[in-house]
Structure 1
Amino acid sequence: MSGMPKVAVLMSVYKNDQISWLNQALDSIACQSYGSENIRLYLAVDGQVGNDLEDVLALRKNEIHKLVRNNVNRGLSKTLNLLIDSLEDEVLAFRMDADDVCMPDRFEIQAKFLLENRNIGIVGSGCTEIDENGVALRERTYPEHASEIEKFACKANPMLHPSMCYRCDLFDEGLRYPANYRLSQDWALVFEAIRRGIVLHNIPKSLINWRLSSDFFARRSIERSWQEFIIGMGGIYKIRRISWRYIYPFARLAFRLLPTPVAKFVYGSQLRKSFLK
């Protein structure tokens, strides 16, 4: 697309990323209707990786605008902040995970939305959850408007992290991922954005295939559960101060500590949907 501003894509990879999924993610970026000439991929390698991943990076080096390496694994927050610090003159920055797949018109839709709605600072979208083989499981939508997003944030993350697109001038104003969180840093960033008065929006359309691996629920460790609890409690205090909504982090913590089979059942059940209304 001619006449469109340059945009950045922020992606981090590490040793456990699957090569086939990474290639699918990179292919989906290369095939964007927004035009590859307008897209700059900022890719970080977080720690030491295997030869197979290095081979992919070498093979696709012409698709990578800037490559950043950490000698040791520093975690997603610090690594994304390094990428943000290395941005050039891009107007927008898209998040993308190494195992997800963008719809071909994702960048075009989100870029046009932000260019036409100057009051919006960050825009996300709905998604299609897929399994390890790319089979669609369910559609997920998120609260659309800023007031709904702020209300929902007290219950759970109101935006899907890899679907988010930022105005780069927010980074110039100091917005960064909270470096003190190695997990669920995207939820903490949403709370900080709301505190700063940044207007958030979700496009009610699936613009990304979000992959749920078979160990998705097993990876819900006690550490992650506790960190989500701390983020939820601290975030509610940031945007609400005194509120009855502190009940939500406690309920979320209880859910996270359920046995994996029970958590998997509840995740797709009407009970969870009712809780998140």
Structure 2
Amino acid sequence: MLDQAALIIKKCHGLPLAISAIGGFLANKPKTATEWRKVNDRIRAELDMNPELRSIKTVLMRSYDGLPYHLKSAFLYMSIFPEDYKIKRKRLIRRWIAEGYCRGMHGMSAEEVGDRYFEELLDRSMILLLEEDTKYGGAIDSCQLHDIIREICILKAREENLAFTLEEGCCLSDAQGTIRHLAIGSNWKRDKDVLVESMLDLSHVRSLTVFGEWKPFFISDKMRFLRVLDLGDTFGLRDRHLDQIGQLLHLKYLSIRGCYDICCLPSCLGMKSEAPPNSGW
């Protein structure tokens, strides 16, 4: 039971409101490892269904509602990253720029604007600082989403048809209408029919992010407006799989960092890409 308690506290990341509310909720539950495991596995659903935990969602929703419009889009975009995922600052900002979420203004470059967005989200405690990844001089290299805030992020992103993740246990009916940002989780069963047989509306997908194993059928002819293709650290990706990427006329960002089986980029790729760090590119 102590193991389950530690996992639940980890999800709270020191957020007093979350610790207090979930502690009070568990006080009325049978004190067994099985019962606490259920709570840990179902925190997302519990936020919606249980009045005792609904106060957490209400307060966090107010934090989200209080964000300026430009920060709301930048924040919801982060729902594509898995739980406890270390999000590299530069990677995130470059993606924001490619998506058009931040542009140069008032004498500032797009990257400087993205840096300011990042700092604002950090100051508002919408993202967590990873102290072990703080560079010399205090520069922040990576961040994470607080687990419970991430649940809010996912809920709002789905409500607005902004992002959808294909993962174990996902419900395709949750993807109502068009999807702008599609992520493929490492635990998804790689069901070809979902993408090839048009079980999802892919006609307006602007970004595709893959975690885990790569499959060639992930890119559909229907993804005509794809701007971001992030394949960083995927496995199974080969040089020949990149040939079809040249058909993505709107592509602004390509990441194949950590894909060590890639030896060369096809000549048709003219956009800025992130190549494997040890490739010599």
Provide the TM-score with structure 1 as the length reference: 0.32
Bigger-Rg structure (1/2): 2
Going by fraction, where is strand more abundant, 1 or 2? 1
Provide the TM-score with structure 2 as the length reference: 0.32
